[in-house]
Structure 1
């Protein structure tokens, strides 16, 4: 039983030591955090839950600073991919822009001896 009392006494002493250290180093730690926030351009909004810049491994755009040439501002709109006009038209009206994998309809026709140029849309 005396072991339990000794351990509880040690716990109390250690908790008091931890509290004293925390109180002593609090101001210095706050100053370090503020300096890093200023250096990296971190705002209080960045620290809100769900607003993290590095969520899911992708960094969001940061504010433009002195060394931030070419960096998008945080509120900049994302680029939207526009559809690409078809360069090839199949016998049944299928279209293909020439990008990505060759569609099945064209692959089948190529196997039959046709060429892509046979299906090119003349502009």
Structure 2
């Protein structure tokens, strides 16, 4: 419904292109109407975020805090958060600067790679 509120047809096209890219990279999977469902199912809601930017005009925001009912857990509630690494940033920067070689990675889509075991 939030995509239908987009006034600019080009934004709708761009949104669809992003979804097609996510589908191609297996970040999302299609759900066909009438598909039989075993047990409880919850679909992750999403909406467009539009920004006047030279690099990214529109992006998809997934609402991992949504719940199917008030007594259920959200995806955010169910994820393992891991340790807080903020206190280690300073030592990591120093270690990076004292070595002769450093390496970096692009994690721009790392947060889209969430896989949930069906069981």
**TMscore range, shorter length:** under 0.3
Q: Which has the higher strand share?
A: 2
Larger Cα-atom Rg = 1
**Please, what TM-score do these two structures have when normalized by structure 2?**
0.22
**Please, what TM-score do these two structures have when normalized by structure 1?**
0.21
Greater relative CO, 1 or 2 (CA 8 Å, sep 6+): 2
Q: Which has the higher helix share?
A: 1
